[in-house]
Amino acid sequence: MTDEGDLSGCYDLARNQPHQPLGALNSMDGPLVKRGLHRLQNLAKVLCFPAAVLMLAAQVAVPARAQEPVETLVAQIFGTKDAAAYELQAHVRGMFSLTTGGGFIAGTAAGTFREWRTPGSRRWSVTVQELELPWLLRPFSGAVRASLEQRVEAQSEAFESFQNYDVFISEELAGGQYVLVGLRRDLVDEAITRFGRSVDKQDEASRRAIARWLFTAPSMRSWITRPGQPYVLKVVTDESGLVHELQVSYERSQVGMKFSYLTVSDQAAWKEVLSTFVNSNAKGLGRLEGQLRLGFADYKVDLTPRWQDIDRAEKDNRAHQSDESNQPDQSDPTQPSVP
């Protein structure tokens, strides 16, 4: 039976990286041999990809025990089209820290948190109203405030896009929790175009199998690491749709969030959030590590929000963020705004 190690070796051959030395062939430096090797490599590309898809599809089709379908889990997270809408507000207070090669920065912040769900959508935002910084950094308080708000907003947007990724169940955990991994759809499309069949682009089961192969094969790790939007999202959820962990992977950085919950008016609400991030090469700073811990209190839930009020509140929040920032917007979300 073909295993992932065999597939990895097969793809290495397709990338002109054979596992076994070709000494006998290399000694024959004729054009006929070179053409033969080139055709062999092309054949490897054609054969390995379908083999990988078939193997992984078989693994997914016969789980150790019954699993929730991935579509059901994603729908539970974001709410089906007929799910009840709500808006939740709370006071938030937290501590943050940044560690660079040049030192350590820490501070505290307080403000308001807002989460809202509409049919098939779930978003959140934070507005920083109080900020405590070391006195040398206080002239940059506007930039720090805007950076914190934008970072929370960026993770909300990344999470919202999860349902537009090619998602598969990576692992089933104890307590009815699942690890869902989403790979950018354009990466799966590119892999199918290069190695597979165009018909697979329209088949969700094939796309999931291909996404799993791309994510798990060691030889494909560097291939899927791309600039721009997060190339991989990882979510730990349960059958009720509660998200316990979120991990967002960019080309040069990774952001993780862990959530604990309490119940407010029959709605699950965040009790505490721990967010960590690592940037391997932040502009002008080198390696950068940070942590943000938020605690919530004084909850208020509106179970009958009007759509126009939600839209207006979101626009007002974006306008507030723009007014508070004294730095131009950054197009690269992987580069933190650090004074």
pLDDT tens digits, residue range 30-73?
554 445 444 444 444 444 444 444 444 334 433 433 456 898 89
Query: Starting at the edge strand that comes first in sequence, how are the strands of the sheet with 243-249 ordered?
Result: 121-132, 103-118, 86-100, 286-302, 267-282, 253-264, 243-249, 232-238, 177-183, 166-173
277 closest CA partner among 127, 99, 128: 99
pLDDT of residue 12: 38
pLDDT of residue 33: 42
pLDDT at 302 exceeding the cut of 50: yes
The tokens 């030889």 sit on which residue? 219
pLDDT of residue 318: 59
pLDDT of residue 268: 85
pLDDT at 139 exceeding the cut of 60: yes
Task: Give the pLDDT band (50/70/90) at residue 77.
Answer: confident
Task: Tell me if residue 317 falls in helix, strand or coil.
Answer: helix
181's tokens: 């991994």
Write down the pTM of the prediction: 0.69
Q: Which helix (H) or strand (E) holds 273?
A: strand 267-282
The larger pLDDT score, comparing residue 36 to residue 266, is at: 266
Task: Give the pLDDT band (50/70/90) at residue 322.
Answer: low
Instruction: Report CA torsion sign: 317, 323, 324, 329.
Output: positive
The answer to whether 144 and 98 are in contact (CB under 8 A) is: no
Triad 75, 77, 80: Cα angle to 5°: 35
Mean pLDDT of the chain: 75
Task: Tell me if residue 280 falls in helix, strand or coil.
Answer: strand
Task: Indicate the domain borders of the chain.
Answer: 4-69, 72-184+226-324
CA distance 117 to 302: 11
pLDDT of residue 103: 78
Q: What does the pLDDT look like over 187-216, one tens digit per residue?
A: 999 999 998 888 999 999 999 999 999 999
- DSSP conformation class of 176: T
Q: What is the CATH number of domain 72-184+226-324?
A: 2.50.20
pLDDT at 286 exceeding the cut of 60: yes
The answer to whether 167 and 74 are in contact (CB under 8 A) is: yes
CA distance 25 to 320: 67
142's tokens: 């506007």
pLDDT at 135 exceeding the cut of 90: no
Task: Give the pLDDT band (50/70/90) at residue 169.
Answer: very high
Q: Which helix (H) or strand (E) holds 312?
A: helix 307-324
CA distance 305 to 141: 33
What residues contact 111, with CB distance under 8 A and at least 6 apart? Answer: 91, 92, 126, 127, 128, 129, 130
The larger pLDDT score, comparing residue 94 to residue 337, is at: 94
pLDDT of residue 323: 56
Dihedral pair phi/psi, residue 65, rounded to 5°: -150, 170
Instruction: Report CA torsion sign: 155, 160, 161, 162.
Output: positive
b/e per residue, 228-246, with b = 16+ CB within 10 A?
ebbbbbbbbbbeebebbeb
Lowest mean pLDDT among 18-32, 155-169, 222-236: 18-32
CA distance 104 to 133: 12
Q: Which helix (H) or strand (E) holds 71?
A: helix 70-78
Type of residue found at 277 = F
